[in-house]
Structure 1
Amino acid sequence: MSYLLIKIIHLCAAAFFIGGVFFEVMILSRASSQLPAEARAQLSTALGARARKVMHWVVLALYGAGLALAWNYRAVLAHPFASSFSFLLSLKILFALSILGHFIVVVWLMRTGRSTPKRSRIIHLSVLTQMICIVVLAKSMMFAW
């Protein structure tokens, strides 16, 4: 698979993932609070089921393509403080791993019945903030190369 195709897959998956989290945090959570409890529960169940089907593939494409792209920069990543580019790329990867950790925590919380609206909101805000940082870092990397 060509570098350009991998890059396109990575960018599209990132757009889908960031868009989904943005929609959930900034729009859906605020709008659903205006619904009656029964409607909110139905909406949450329906969206959760759909999101689990779609987002697993998006995350797989995002991280799979990210790994393939990182492989091309393994020599640069071996020395993360050698240049601005290597530092920014390393930081971007750290944020991506943190987001993956959040994703694993969400799955664990859901499976153990420990997920609460407050925990979910905090995790989603944290993930959205880190995603914004990744976008800024990715754009900054273009100027550091």
Structure 2
Amino acid sequence: MLYLLFLLAHLFAALIFIGTVFFEVLILARLHQQLPARVMVQVEQGVGQRARVLMPWVLLMLFGAGIGMVWLRYLPVLAAPLASSFGTLLALKLILAASVLLHFLLTMLRMRRGRVGPGYLRFVHLSLFGHMVAIVVLAKSMFYLTW
């Protein structure tokens, strides 16, 4: 039962995080061509302020539940990740997840130091977008790909 609670918390947090990244990359970034610059600045500031409040909690739930799932069910698989296709794909997924967390922490640090510009944010959003796509593909592939 505890595993199910971790799984549901992980899935809902992933939906929020992935949905936010997809929104920023696929929708918000394209609005620059349709809205006046002053309006886009206000929209981006509003979205950014909300994300800075919400995302730390979402990531805490996402990673906390993920660690709980690993602890309850997948530690034996990760003891020898190359011994099975499932373990290999899970290990790759965890490496990408760690990279996502590193992206987030470095961005928060740079924000505190006032060293985050539009180019950097664009890079981070595109990188996270790629990470998210790969993580979703790996998460589903773990249960269907074997070698």
TM-score bracket, shorter-length normalisation: over 0.9
2:110 corresponds in structure 1 to 109
CA distance in structure 2 between the partners assigned to 1:122 and 1:110 by the alignment: 15
Q: Is 2:61 the counterpart of 1:65?
A: no
User: 20-29 or 109-118: which moved more?
Assistant: 109-118
CA distance in structure 1 between the partners assigned to 2:54 and 2:117 by the alignment: 22
Task: Tell me which amino acid in the other structure corresponds to 2:53.
Answer: K
Aligned length: 145
What secondary structure is seen at the aligned counterpart in 2 of 1:104? helix
CA distance in structure 2 between the partners assigned to 1:6 and 1:29 by the alignment: 33
What secondary structure is seen at the aligned counterpart in 1 of 2:83? coil
2:48 corresponds in structure 1 to 48
CA distance in structure 2 between the partners assigned to 1:41 and 1:93 by the alignment: 35
Shift of 1:29: 1.3
CA distance in structure 1 between the partners assigned to 2:67 and 2:29 by the alignment: 32
Shift of 1:16: 0.9
Paired residues for 1:66-145 under 5 Å = 66-71=66-71, 72-144=73-145
User: 21-30 or 50-59: which moved more?
Assistant: 50-59
Under a length normalisation based on structure 2, what TM-score does the superposition of the two structures give?
0.92
What secondary structure is seen at the aligned counterpart in 2 of 1:81? helix
Under a length normalisation based on structure 1, what TM-score does the superposition of the two structures give?
0.93
Shift of 1:33: 4.4
What secondary structure is seen at the aligned counterpart in 2 of 1:142? coil
Q: Is 2:11 the counterpart of 1:11?
A: yes
1:37 corresponds in structure 2 to 37
What secondary structure is seen at the aligned counterpart in 2 of 1:143? coil
- For the aligned residues, what is the CA RMSD? 1.4
Task: Tell me which amino acid in the other structure corresponds to 1:73.
Answer: Y
CA distance in structure 2 between the partners assigned to 1:14 and 1:50 by the alignment: 17
Q: Give 5+ residue unaligned stretches, structure 1.
A: none
CA distance in structure 2 between the partners assigned to 1:123 and 1:48 by the alignment: 14
CA distance in structure 1 between the partners assigned to 2:10 and 2:33 by the alignment: 33
Q: Give 5+ residue unaligned stretches, structure 2.
A: none
What secondary structure is seen at the aligned counterpart in 2 of 1:73? helix
CA distance in structure 2 between the partners assigned to 1:115 and 1:34 by the alignment: 24
